[in-house]
Amino acid sequence: MGQPNAEQFAQRAFNLGLLDERQLQDVWASFGSRNVPVGDFVQTLLRRGFMTNYQVERLLKGERSGFFFGDYKVLYLVGRGTFARVYRAVHRETGRVVALKVLRNKFCDDPALFLREGELGRTLRHPNIVPIYEVCSKGRNHFLVMEFVEGRNLLEFVRIRKKLDPIEATRLMIGIADGLRYAFERGLTHRDLKMSNILISSRGDAKLVDFGLAAIDDAVADDSSTDLSNTRTVDYAALERATGVRKDDTRSDVYFLGCIYYNMLTGQPPLAESDRLHRLNKQRFLDVVPIQKLDPSVPLCVSLVVNKAMSLDPNQRYQTPAAMVADLRMTARRLADESSEASGSADAAALRRYASAPADTGRSIMVVESDANVQNVFREGFKRAGYRVLVIADPDRAATRILQDPTVADCVILSAQNLGRSALEVFNALGDNPHTQSIAAILLLDESQAALKSEARAAPRRLVLSMPITLRQIRTLVTQLAPSKTPDAVNE
């Protein structure tokens, strides 16, 4: 197919839904003519953000597919994996930017495992785990809709920085290990812990990806007997073979947490790269250079955590991610104290706050309130008790968010004191909708709003409360309506 002219290119883009009529008219008007070189036309589209380089290149090649998956328009390719490609995409109606993990064509004949593991990942909501919003399957298109994290993966992050300061490495490690703890307490192991599966957001937070998806690798490895198809499968299989543990033992995840910590602190991976057969050799684990020997500048309190996590004897390792998190927090406080004494650094103060953060209860709440001062009371009060808190001022926007992702909150608190009838309407609408009626909800009314109370459709997990009431009382009710998902819930 030859190179299209500008009008042909525009028509193709319009027919595929990549451009709308208004955008086309805007671009043509800027030229004052349709007799323009296609290169100039394309550059204008790119400059105005109407199309991306990925879309343009595919369209110029005559491609007709791969621009949309369901309701999502692909913006560009982010990365390729063994089983899936990851794209940045945007919802064509709401404009919401997401990441799409799309199963490769050669695995589309049997997508059941991919979809099942996606559903498992969809149950996880933790600040250090990239959330899966949707699991989609139609025809030969099978994909997961996930949060798009602005930033880079930890492998790239460390490659640029060479190695990380112990304070920064420990702060990141607390988040990574706590995400693993949260998943483990819900019955999930990761089995794919490596630097490239941890994203560092533009705010500097660590987020785990691909929870549960390593089972696909295991299935391929099991089917092929001796042919372990992926390096992550080989590393886990080699460790398990060397230590005699079953493949779902969380202590294997703990070992690779230690490897990641080691790599951040030294800038070097502890396990030597080699071919597949050598990866299965126990000697590879025995040849790890102790971190204190490789870099004597690493503080002793830090190297002790690394050594315990990476003990080849699984009984000498941390037995659970929670145990490692506890030691990491203690190490963080020690580093912060030492750094404060030396320089009074802001990094040390931030680390101390991070180290003393309450344990995550596993509960998320949404507070719908327009008054900024009241918002802060709710935010700080629930965060201190280990809740994840989302505050939204507009009831309609809150309802839209919940409809898009019913797992965004375990309980919704709607304050009608300032929002009035709009809070009541959303409270009733969420209860009437079969997709959201199982979400716990509390409607807070002022003493003067008795008329609204008579209109509120309450239920066992949908309460209507009249002020005055204390924040402690509200927290107690939330605990009853949305029980903790972890065994170590924080209650005051």
Return the active site residues.
Answer: 192
Q: Could you give the count of Cα atoms lying within 13 Å of 62 in the half-sphere of its Cβ?
A: 4
Q: Which of 319, 344, 348, 310 is nearest to 332 (CA)?
A: 348
The residue ranges of DSSP E strands in 149-290, in sequence order, are 151-153, 198-201, 206-208
Contact criterion met (CB below 8 Å) for 216 and 114: yes
Which amino acid does the sequence have at 178? Answer: D
Closest CA to 267 of 166, 181, 118, 176: 166
Q: Around Cβ 106, how many Cβ atoms within 10 Å?
A: 7
Instruction: Say which residues have a Cβ less than 8 Å from residue 387's Cβ, sequence separation at least 6.
Output: 361, 363, 364, 365, 478
Let me know if 309 is exposed, middle or buried by CB neighbors in 10 A (0-12, 13-18, 19+): buried
Strand 440-445 to 462-466 pairing: parallel
The residue type at 321: P
Select from 175, 186, 198 the least CA-distant residue to 325: 175
- The encoded tokens of residue 483 equal 């029980």
- CA angle 126–132–133, rounded 5-degree value: 110
Q: Output the six-digit token pair for 5.
A: 């002219």
CA 490, CA 472: separation in Å to the nearest integer?
12
Task: Burial-class residue 470 by CB neighbours within 10 Å (0-12, 13-18, 19+).
Answer: exposed
What burial letters (b/e) apply to 39-63, b meaning 16+ CB within 10 Å? eebbebbeeeebbbebbbebbeeee
- CA dist 226 and 5 (Å) reads 54
CA angle 114–118–119, rounded 5-degree value: 120
Q: Give the CA distances from residue 458 to residues 23, 413, 441, 443, in Å, rounded to whole numbers and listed in that order.
A: 47, 13, 9, 9
Residue for token pair 């937070």 = 205
Residue 309 near residue 251 (C-beta atoms within 8 A)? no
How many Cβ atoms sit within 10 Å of the Cβ of residue 109?
7
